[in-house]
Structure 1
Amino acid sequence: MKGLRINTAWLSSIVGLHAAELTNREVALDDLFSASTVHRLIDALWGDRIDRELLGSLWPDAAVDARVDHAVTALTSQIAPSIAELADRMDLSQRHLRRLVERDTGLTPKTIHQVARLHHAIHDATVTSRAGLAQIAASNGYSDQAHLGRDAQRFSGLTPTALIERASTPASAEMF
């Protein structure tokens, strides 16, 4: 079984539903797309890389809310601003920012930030093998190693060590 990871800012526009309707659900591609689009996606998945160009060619009319795209980019950066700071910079209330992001991605800004922080921590651990988990946790903004462990369990169902091992294998390098 393969999965398709779509930039969260594009999701709502591509599938034609509010992303919140798809949150925490497993949905078959043929429930969302035409048979020809599904075949093109499956063909592309064999290469394990789908990028903005392919998505743009499949859905040329897809329009991404620039505010959501900006918010997701900021929240997933290595040095992400706080949600309050981001909302202020975007001249939005925190509540309005949350509604926009959740509508188009199915995730709250806080969840996007937490997943990105875990991603950065796991990536750091795979490239910096000499650093311990406590050091990796601290350098990625976790209050302690246990906090990193809770996020790893919550978002992947794995311990940080198991997640690092899985992310370190060549076949899984792009998975997380």
Structure 2
Amino acid sequence: MYVERLPDPAVSGRVAVLWVHVAEGDGRHLVVPDGCVDLIWGPHGPHVAGPDTGPMYTRMRAGDTYVGVRFLPGAVGGALGVPVEELRDLRVPVADLPRSDALRRMTEEGPGASRSELQRLMLATVVERLGATAAPDPAAPHVAAALRAGRTVAEVARRLGLSERQLHRRSLASFGYSPKTLQRIVRFQRALRLARAGRPLADVAADSGYADQAHLANDVKRLSGVTIRRLL
């Protein structure tokens, strides 16, 4: 079972969704890159899932429960106390992060809490951390949106009045990725949305900015580790 719900409007510009995943059987759960950072409470306590550049697997047993808060791409800012690029392709226990009062209270109060209580506690922690740290780069949403719309990295830099080197530096700080990597990931996610809506794969490739269906298939395999049909 996997369920998402929208966050409180107070954090809707920084948090994408709140989610719960209860494993229905033993096995490995595939996670593919989406440009996001998640704060997660799982069977072994709270941890952070950094921005991924390739497939990641979580081994689950039937009944394992995971409760998460997913930040929008580029929106985590300084909320976790470490540069987002240092979290890339990592799963980091909250205990290993700089311990703010909010994170300390969460780890002390969370054990034994119900799913709904954990979600409220984690969201309250995020709200407090967002209020106590610097806001993310205001250009980040525009960068992600422009790349998602098919703009080239050079076009995005020009539209923002930046050099490509400046855009590269600000992209790493916001997303944990270079603009080129971010471009591949948002294009991949757009393709998945279109394919899951039932569009023919040739149309998906054209509408997502791939050169052709073979280009789509190869990029999906590199980012997810499986074929697009298997992923769907």
Fold-level match, TM-score > 0.5? yes
Aligned residue in 1 for 2:142: 70
User: C-alpha separation between the residues in 1 aligned to 2:185 and 2:201?
Assistant: 17
Q: Given the alignment, which residue of 60, 63, 76 partners 2:131?
A: 60
How does 1:57-136 map onto structure 2 within 5 Å? 57-62=128-133, 63-76=135-148, 79-127=149-197, 129=198, 131-136=199-204
How far apart, in 2, do the equivalents of 1:75 and 1:57 lie? 31
**Equivalences for residues 1-176 of structure 1 within 5 A:** 2=66, 5-32=70-97, 34-38=103-107, 39=110, 43-44=118-119, 55-62=126-133, 63-76=135-148, 79-127=149-197, 129=198, 131-164=199-232
Give the C-alpha shift of residue 143 in structure 1: 0.9
More helix by share: 1
Contact 1:12 1:105 in 2 (8 A): no
Deviation at 1:58, TM superposition (A): 4.5
Tell whether the 8 Å contact from 1:21 to 1:106 is kept in structure 2 after alignment. yes
Identity, in percent, stands at 30
- The answer to whether the Cα contact below 8 Å between 1:9 and 1:69 also exists between their aligned partners in 2 is yes
Displacement of 1:121 after TM fit?
Answer: 1.0
Shift of residue 119, structure 1, vs aligned partner: 1.0
Gaps of 5+ in 2: 1-41, 43-65
Q: Measured at CA, do residues 107 and 137 of structure 1 come closer, stay the same or move farther in structure 2, by a change above 3 Å?
A: same
Report the Cα distance in structure 1 between the residues aligned to 2:184 and 2:71, rounded to whole angstroms.
18
1:54 Cα deviation (Å)? 8.1
Matches of 2:88 and 2:190 in 1, distance apart? 22
Query: Letter of the aligned partner of 2:206 in structure 1?
Result: A
Match of 2:79, SS state, is helix
**CA gap 1:54/1:36 in 2 versus in 1, 3 angstroms:** closer
TM-score (norm 1): 0.73
Task: Work out the CA distance in 1 between the residues paired with 2:128 and 2:204.
Answer: 39
Rg: which structure is higher? 2
Deviation of residue 57 (structure 1)?
4.7
Letter in 2 for 1:23: R
- Structure in which a larger fraction of residues adopt strand: 2
- Confirm or deny: 8 A CA contact 2:220 2:228 kept in the other structure: yes
Write the letter of the residue equivalent to 2:224: S
Cα deviation per residue 1:82-127 (whole Å; 9 max; x = unaligned)?
1111111111001100111112321111211211111111111111
Number of aligned positions between the proteins: 156
CA offsets 1:38-70 (integer angstroms, 9 cap, x no match):
53998229xxxx7xx984454212311112333
Distance 2:202 2:83 in 1: 38
In 2, Cα distance between the equivalents of 1:7 and 1:43?
Answer: 20
Give the RMSD, CA atoms, in angstroms: 3.0
